[in-house]
Structure 1
Amino acid sequence: MNIKELHATFGGLERRTLRPGPGLTVIQAPNEGGKSTWCAFLRAMFYGIPTRERDKQGTIAEKNRYQPWSGAAMEGEMRLTWQGRDILLRRGPRGSAPFGLFQAVDAATGAPIPQLTGSGEDLTGVSRAVYERSAFIGQGRAAVDAAPDLEARIAALVSTGEEEVSYSQVERQLKAWQNRRKYRQTGLIPTLEEEERQLCALLAQQEAAGERMRRAADAAADLRREQGLLQREEAAYRLRADSRRRQVWEEAQAEQTAAERDFQRIRQALFQDGPTPERETVRDLQEELAAVRSLTQEGRHTDALRATCVEQARQAHHRLDQERFFTGMDPDEARYTARRDAAQAAPRQTRAVALPLALLILAAVCAVGGGVWSPWLFLPGVLLAGGGVLLLWRTLRENRSRLRRQRELLRRYGVDRGEEILRLAEDYAARWEEAARADETMERTITRVDVIRRERDSRWINLLSTVRAFAPGAKDPVTVSAALSRALFLREKYQQAAQRLESARKLAQTLPPPEEPEEDGGFQPRYDLEETRARLSRTAAALTQAQREEAQAGGELAALGSPAETQARLEELRAQLQSRRAEYDALGLALDGLKEAYDALQARFSPALNRRAGALLAQLTGGKYDSVTVARDFSAQVRAEGEILPHAAAALSQGTVDQLYLAVRLAVCELALPAGDPVPLVLDDALANFDDHRARLALDCLLQLAGERQILLFTCHSREAHYLAGRPDVTICTLSDETN
């Protein structure tokens, strides 16, 4: 099989074309250049896209991942040589299924090819699972994992050629049947064993239920006799209680009369000078009186604090008025003035006299030149001399004036340096801010005194007017407090009297006039009343319990059924249990036989796979590793020449692991895939972790294998193209935004 041309609208590929050559084709592109998308497109053209796959956490289903970015329909075309014929494969949407439509036609005539149905196995000769684990190496997926299809394929090659089932599938089915009969504490056998235990327990329960029913019937008869005697004793005590109830009724009538008399006396005192408020209102008035007293005390304290604040403000202004330099200024103005004067009083470098002296020197040079060379030099000499004298005089005068101003400022502030003027300003600002804070505190205190006084007077007037409504003699806090205490006391006594009267009335109403007590006939109880009632209660409870146990035992015996039926069911159950145990043992023997057959099968296929994989790994690693051992799950180990123990893949570098599994995949391709029309080998960045030396060895190996099958090597590096440049049967493509 040889792929000649690919046309794709697939994922990020929008109407893109790829034309691989025969033999080895190196397809170079940077990261995100579309390499993995082309690989997925080629696989989808062979096998379609799984429609049942769903998005999962961390992975996106192919049908969603490779939807064209432009929103167009997912479609593609592949032209290839298959079994000596040039054919075209086309896939496109069918309804909501991407790539659901498949066509295979002859490239020359356009006639359909009926034997190609789109399953992929018609073209490659193997299932998708086998192809992905052999001739298709996805990015970062060089390792080979076990799959039922691959096991079935290997079994077919070394046995009868039947590929319908694999060892793992048969093993799972036998274990499922075995687990159905017994898996730990579940299955048919444990269920039957549990039922057997339950039936054995049922026979014992039937015998125990009959015995309990007989014992409960005897106990119930004894309890009925004792219950009758105790009921007669209780009746004797009831007659005595009737006599005591009459005495209680007479006492309740007397208590009601006394309670009514006390209630009327307290009510008259409560409303003597006016309606006394309720207890909650009186308590609120007491709290209001406490608040007035608290405000009075706070007013005294605040008034004393006001005098202190006034004195502190006076002292602060006195200290501020002693200021000599910044009088009438706020802190910002004082600081500005101090910075300005400090800058003027700071010592400065006197203006240099170098320029005037230079002019005078030049004038002297011109004078000498006029006497020696030309009289015309006297004129510039005179001008330079005049300018130098004038500039020197102005410089000296400015320096003397600046020094005089500095001495005057320092003398006026009474300091030696300009920095001390700034400290004077900061001291003034501190005293000014202190006076401002004292004024603010004094104002707040005076305002607080007025607020407290007004609030106290208002609340006292309201309180006094309320209290005088029921205590006219109240006139000051002491008499108001006494009036409130008396009102609260009367309210308490009034409430107590009302409750006493209410209780007495209820008691009198609930006690009807008792009848004359009957004679008890001189019967003498054995126990006192409490003991009699306790014994009667216990006897009734025991009788109820005995009757309940008798009924429960009878019901249980009726529910448990006949012992003969239970025994028959137990014998039938034991026969079933024996049959299931025999089946379980037979399945165990079948699993053992299957394992022996599979081991024999592996013994035929594994040596050939290990030899070929070892030869390929030796070629890929330059002879460092020459032995490979592939396990049942396709995990591999390597051993270098001269070493005794093999190395697991986890102990190797990532590059060596990729080389190991590349060798295994190439060996699987040769041994497990059809050899008549070999499918193309697709590698997506499979050499990314190879160093340059081993990458060249791998390219030599692939170039050798390209003589037997087409190889498509996708890479993000340029070293492969540089190394293979100019080689025969090598095609180098570079993917870009334009059509290839």
Structure 2
Amino acid sequence: MKIIRMKATFGGLDHRELTLKEGLNIIQAPNEGGKSTWSAFLRAMLYGINTKERDKQGYIAEKNRYQPWSGAAMEGVLELEWKGEKITLRRGPKGNTPFGKFEAVYTDTGEPVGFLTADNVGETLIGAPREVFERSAFVGQGGAAIDGAPALEARIAALASSGEEDVSYSQVERRLRDWLNRRRHNKTGLIPKLEEELAQNDEVEGRQAKAFRLAQEAKRELEKLQTEHKRLEAERDAHLARAMAARRQRWEEAQHALEEARGQVETVEGELNRYGTPPDKATLQQAQGELNRLNSLHTSRQQAEERLEEAKAAQERAAAGAVDPLFPDMTPDQAWEQANDDAQAAGEVPRCGGLYGAGAACLVLAAGSLVVSFTGLLPAPWMGWAACGVLAVAGVGLFVAAALRKKKAGALAQELLERYGAESPEDILARASAYREACAVAEQAVKARESAQKELDALLAQDETTRKALLELVHPFAPTVKDTFGVSAAISRALQLEEKLATARVKLEGAEKLADSLPRPEPVAADPGVEPRFEPAETAARLNAAEGELSRLRSGLAMALGELKSMGDLAELATRQEEAREELERRQTEYAALEIALNALDAAHTGLQARFSPSLNHLAGEYLAKLTGGRYDKVSLTRQFEALAEEAGGLQPRRALALSQGTADQLYLAVRLAACRLVLPQEEPCPLVLDDALANFDDSRMAQALDCLSELGEERQILLFTCHSREKAWQQGR
């Protein structure tokens, strides 16, 4: 397996990219340059991040430690080559889980790599679980020392035996010792406890019989009451089950009513909205009132038509009554003026008094002239006779003229009275007055007819306007309506639907309130099938009383049993004694078997170590000789994975604690290199990650270590992170 490129937003790395090559890669960076972060990123891309890990005193969980400093989401890309295929791994956030999203695709095609998942990618590509990888090919900063892990130990054991990696010696040995201690550990083991129990039981066996008899008497009395109490509980449960069933039935009925009410509301709303939404109820009621007024208007129109016909007939009658041949085409005033003149003419008495007076005067003067002529007062008598004659003629003429005038006036008056068919001039005026009144009646009849016509026209216009408005009102939801009957039916139907909808909504509101007021019932308990003897309240009271009596009896029995328990039941004690003896014998047999198993396990492990340790120690010694320039050439690893180094030609191996820090790091690096060779697959060797692993090496041993790593780089890819420049200088010198 070879890493081609890494790109990360991880900790202090913000969209940083690292490109690698085959063999030994020396990555130089200053402190806080991201070396340890790149190492942790590679491990996280392969094995993920343990999200269950929590911060502790002096330790930050990985999920918190490597949160991007920029505040961005934790994500990364790893391109690699494995078994001749180029694969790209991607991890990113999934909800609040860092690196929870995983994707593996073939780099060239983008097709998913079906056998790789977030959980198995590391173990599949590396060929080992995380704890083995961390203790072999992954050397973290300051972490060259190796410790035991069940997975590493199991893999080492598998290499030395049949290949099984399910168990390790330390796990089995720890489990066997736990079982051994459980059976005999001072006074807390099972065997000492059983022995002590047997001794105590022998002591109380004599006193137990008396206490047992007293307890049995108390139990019999308690059993009777418990039987009644159980019966009462069953009856209470029966009441409760039936009440719960009734409650559930009410709840189900309320839910059914709620659904039915919703269905009714939806049905009515659907009917209302089939052609269009009708106006609100007030508008419909107002329209219905308009429709009622339209019916009243129809009646009023008929009445107006009748009044118009009557007015027309009255007008005709009045017009006929206002015709008088004496006053043709005259206005009432003109007729009155003519009648007034004719009445005056018919009633005038000719004024002849003057004529008669003048004639009389002439005759008197004629007589006087005659007298004067006879008296001789006149110069000539003929003058008197002449004057007398003239005056007499004048007097007679005046009398004749007066008579003729009177006769003519009488004839005119008679003619006028005959024309008017009157007996007196007042009748002429009455005829004119009647004509004037008939004309007034005719004029009133015309006005009455015009008023009736206007009223009818207004009613017709109002009828037309109202009909049009009603049709416009109902057409949006009743487009087929063409007359007032259809309007009435549509409005009535809409009002009925509105009323039905209002009723349905009220019903729905009531059903919702009822459904809300009834909590969802719990599952109905099974009816025990007991017919209660009492009402629920009496059953509860009797049950409470029974429980009180039971409490009293139990308290008394508890005291008796307490005393009995302090000594133990006679039969139970005998049974327990027998069981304890059998168990003691069984535990002692188990203890002996466990000791044999531990001895056999220890012997087997010693044999396995004898088979495997020489190979591991020999290979680690070869690596240590290369790293130390031959000063140390032997390595031995204890069961606890503590490494010891022996100088060439020396007699005593030295513990790592007795060595300098640099030599100790070289010792454990040699062990890790040997473990890489032995426990990791070699057909597709995984990269070796070293984070400042040579920091404590002097220049000479650093060069020797780089020579060794350069040689290993021909077999596997090596990532060496360092904060020094000497490794780069060495590489440039090569």
TM-score (norm 2): 0.51
Report Cα offsets for 1:161-180 as digits up to 9, x if no partner: 11121111222222233333
Change (3 A) 1:191 1:725: same
Instruction: Give the corresponding residue for 1:647.
Output: 654
Q: CA deviation at 1:109?
A: 0.7
Change (3 A) 1:50 1:205: same
Whole-angstrom CA distance in 2 between matches of 1:561 and 1:611:
66
Choose which of 574, 584, 606 in structure 2 pairs with 1:577: 584
Instruction: Give the corresponding residue for 2:168.
Output: 166
Change (3 A) 1:558 1:619: closer
Whole-angstrom CA distance in 2 between matches of 1:553 and 1:25:
83
1:698 aligns with 2:705: yes
Instruction: Give the corresponding residue for 2:637.
Output: 630
1:178 aligns with 2:150: no
Change (3 A) 1:83 1:204: same
SS in 1 for 2:79: strand
Whole-angstrom CA distance in 1 between matches of 2:186 and 2:694:
48
SS in 1 for 2:186: coil
Instruction: Give the corresponding residue for 1:116.
Output: 116
Whole-angstrom CA distance in 2 between matches of 1:589 and 1:52:
40
SS in 2 for 1:632: coil
1:711 aligns with 2:713: no
Whole-angstrom CA distance in 2 between matches of 1:183 and 1:158:
34
Whole-angstrom CA distance in 1 between matches of 2:200 and 2:182:
21
- Give percent identity, aligned residues only: 61
Q: CA deviation at 1:7?
A: 0.4
Whole-angstrom CA distance in 2 between matches of 1:48 and 1:567:
60
Instruction: Give the corresponding residue for 2:69.
Output: 69
Aligned length: 386
Whole-angstrom CA distance in 1 between matches of 2:590 and 2:85:
55
Choose which of 656, 662, 677 in structure 2 pairs with 1:670: 677
SS in 2 for 1:707: coil
Instruction: Give the corresponding residue for 1:24.
Output: 24
Unaligned runs of 5+ in 1: 211-551, 728-740
Whole-angstrom CA distance in 2 between matches of 1:598 and 1:160:
14
Instruction: Give the corresponding residue for 2:731.
Output: 724
Q: CA deviation at 1:606?
A: 0.4
Instruction: Give the corresponding residue for 2:139.
Output: 137
Change (3 A) 1:682 1:566: closer
Q: CA deviation at 1:621?
A: 0.6
Instruction: Give the corresponding residue for 2:128.
Output: 126
Where do 1:504-653 residues align within 5 Å? 560=567, 566-653=573-660
Change (3 A) 1:726 1:584: same
Change (3 A) 1:567 1:644: same
Instruction: Give the corresponding residue for 2:158.
Output: 156
Instruction: Give the corresponding residue for 1:386.
Output: none
Instruction: Give the corresponding residue for 2:432.
Output: none
Q: CA deviation at 1:576?
A: 1.7
Instruction: Give the corresponding residue for 1:43.
Output: 43
Instruction: Give the corresponding residue for 1:684.
Output: 691
Instruction: Give the corresponding residue for 1:540.
Output: none
Where do 1:258-277 residues align within 5 Å? none
Whole-angstrom CA distance in 2 between matches of 1:691 and 1:194:
65
Change (3 A) 1:19 1:568: closer
1:95 aligns with 2:95: yes
Aligned residue type for 2:147:
D
Whole-angstrom CA distance in 2 between matches of 1:621 and 1:690:
10
Q: CA deviation at 1:596?
A: 1.1
Q: CA deviation at 1:670?
A: 0.4
Change (3 A) 1:569 1:682: closer
Q: CA deviation at 1:191?
A: 2.8
Q: CA deviation at 1:568?
A: 4.5
Q: CA deviation at 1:562?
A: 7.0
Q: CA deviation at 1:572?
A: 3.0
Whole-angstrom CA distance in 1 between matches of 2:640 and 2:74:
36
SS in 2 for 1:59: coil
Whole-angstrom CA distance in 1 between matches of 2:72 and 2:561:
81
Q: CA deviation at 1:194?
A: 2.5
SS in 2 for 1:184: coil
Whole-angstrom CA distance in 1 between matches of 2:49 and 2:8:
14
1:80 aligns with 2:93: no
Change (3 A) 1:553 1:657: closer
Whole-angstrom CA distance in 2 between matches of 1:203 and 1:123:
69
Aligned residue type for 1:595:
D
Change (3 A) 1:104 1:197: same
1:106 aligns with 2:113: no
Whole-angstrom CA distance in 2 between matches of 1:690 and 1:565:
74
Q: CA deviation at 1:9?
A: 0.3
Whole-angstrom CA distance in 2 between matches of 1:678 and 1:669:
9
Change (3 A) 1:209 1:155: closer
Report Cα offsets for 1:470-500 as digits up to 9, x if no partner: xxxxxxxxxxxxxxxxxxxxxxxxxxxxxxx
Q: CA deviation at 1:116?
A: 1.2
SS in 1 for 2:172: helix
Where do 1:433-472 residues align within 5 Å? none
SS in 1 for 2:646: strand
SS in 1 for 2:78: strand
Q: CA deviation at 1:726?
A: 5.6
Where do 1:306-321 residues align within 5 Å? none
SS in 2 for 1:43: helix
Aligned residue type for 1:66:
Y
Q: CA deviation at 1:571?
A: 2.8
Aligned residue type for 1:17:
E
Instruction: Give the corresponding residue for 1:286.
Output: none
Where do 1:201-350 residues align within 5 Å? 201-203=203-205, 205=207
Instruction: Give the corresponding residue for 1:658.
Output: 665
Whole-angstrom CA distance in 1 between matches of 2:576 and 2:706:
76
Whole-angstrom CA distance in 1 between matches of 2:170 and 2:673:
24
Q: Indicate the structure (1 or 2) with the bigger Cα radius of gyration.
A: 2
Structure with more relative contact order (C-alpha pairs < 8 Å, separation 6 or more): 1
Aligned residue type for 2:44:
A
Aligned residue type for 1:98:
P
Whole-angstrom CA distance in 2 between matches of 1:634 and 1:557:
57
Change (3 A) 1:197 1:13: same
Change (3 A) 1:49 1:207: closer
Change (3 A) 1:199 1:117: same
CA contact (8 A) 2:209 2:570 kept: no
SS in 2 for 1:725: helix
Q: CA deviation at 1:203?
A: 3.0
Aligned residue type for 1:148:
P
Q: CA deviation at 1:193?
A: 2.0
CA contact (8 A) 2:12 2:34 kept: yes
Q: CA deviation at 1:47?
A: 0.4
Q: CA deviation at 1:641?
A: 1.6
Change (3 A) 1:641 1:557: closer
SS in 2 for 1:54: coil
Q: CA deviation at 1:589?
A: 1.2
Change (3 A) 1:571 1:643: same
TM-score (norm 1): 0.50
